[in-house]
């Protein structure tokens, strides 16, 4: 505003600056700017009720895929190497890339896969608890909301959150 006011003054344009300045909205701080801390992830792992939940949290913390793309990861997209594994994100697409998986994450994912009945390589990595159906995007989002509620992740002013509901793993 100061530069515009200076321009108007230099060109002798009369403006009601008091009224204009009142119309400018106040700057508010943004929410969802912070990542999950190690303590948050440890709390999530401590409340995980199944091998699937445990592997899911480990994968999110280790590889940080977008929450909306987790349901597209297939079993064949995980390639074991030495003590860990490589996760191929967006497999078969133009922007395919590989993400290393920590040994701890690989162990959790392997234990989860060993507990499943359907390990067809073309089947999704994460499935619903009942009937081993592929998890849908909405159910994954709901799954993350459940974990956030269980560990009571930071509420700010009773409403806003400092950490993104789903993608704070990516920050």
Tell me the per-residue pLDDT of 121-134, one tens digit each, with 9 for 90 and over: 999 998 887 777 88
- pLDDT one-digit tens code per residue, 40-97: 888 888 888 889 999 999 998 888 888 888 888 999 999 999 889 999 998 888 889 9
- Identify the pLDDT of residue 158: 54
- Report the DSSP pairing between strands 97-101 and 84-89: antiparallel
Q: What is the pLDDT of residue 2?
A: 86
Q: Burial code of 135-156, b = ≥16 C-beta within 10 A, e = fewer?
A: beeeebeebbeebbeebebeee
Cβ neighbours of residue 87 under 8 Å, at least 6 residues apart? 59, 63, 65, 73, 77, 78, 79, 98, 99, 100, 101
Q: What is the pTM of this model?
A: 0.74
As given in the structure block, the two tokens for residue 105 are 């994450």
H/E stretch holding 81 reads strand 78-81
- The tens digit of pLDDT for each residue in 128-153 reads 877 778 888 888 888 888 877 777 76
Confidence of residue 113 (pLDDT cuts 50, 70, 90): very high
Is the pLDDT at 157 greater than 80, yes or no?
Answer: no
For residues 112 and 125, give the distance between their C-alpha atoms in angstroms, rounded to a whole number. 9
Exposure of 44 by Cβ count < 10 A (0-12 exposed, 13-18 middle, 19+ buried)? buried
Q: Judge contact between 99 and 87, C-beta under 8 A.
A: yes
| Residue 32 near residue 162 (C-beta atoms within 8 A) | yes
Query: What pLDDT is stored for residue 155 in this prediction?
Result: 56
Whether residue 59 contacts residue 109, with contact meaning beta carbons closer than 8 Å, is answered with yes
What pLDDT score was predicted for residue 54?
A: 93
């Amino acid at each position: 505003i100061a530069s515009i006011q200076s321009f108007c003054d230099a060109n002798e344009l009369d403006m009601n600056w008091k009224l204009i300045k009142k119309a400018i909205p106040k700057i508010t701080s943004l929410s969802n700017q912070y990542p999950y801390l190690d303590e948050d992830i440890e709390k999530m792992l401590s409340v995980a009720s199944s091998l699937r939940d445990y592997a899911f949290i480990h994968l999110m913390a280790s590889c940080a895929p977008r929450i909306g793309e987790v349901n597209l990861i297939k079993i064949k997209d995980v390639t074991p190497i030495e003590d860990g594994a490589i996760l191929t994100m967006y497999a078969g697409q133009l922007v395919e890339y590989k993400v290393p998986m920590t040994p701890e994450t690989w162990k959790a994912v392997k234990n989860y896969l060993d507990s499943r009945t359907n390990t067809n390589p073309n089947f999704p990595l994460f499935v619903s608890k009942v009937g081993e159906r592929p998890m849908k995007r909405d159910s994954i989002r709901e799954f993350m909301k459940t974990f956030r509620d269980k560990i009571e992740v930071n509420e700010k002013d009773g409403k806003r959150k400092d950490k993104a509901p789903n993608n704070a793993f990516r920050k």
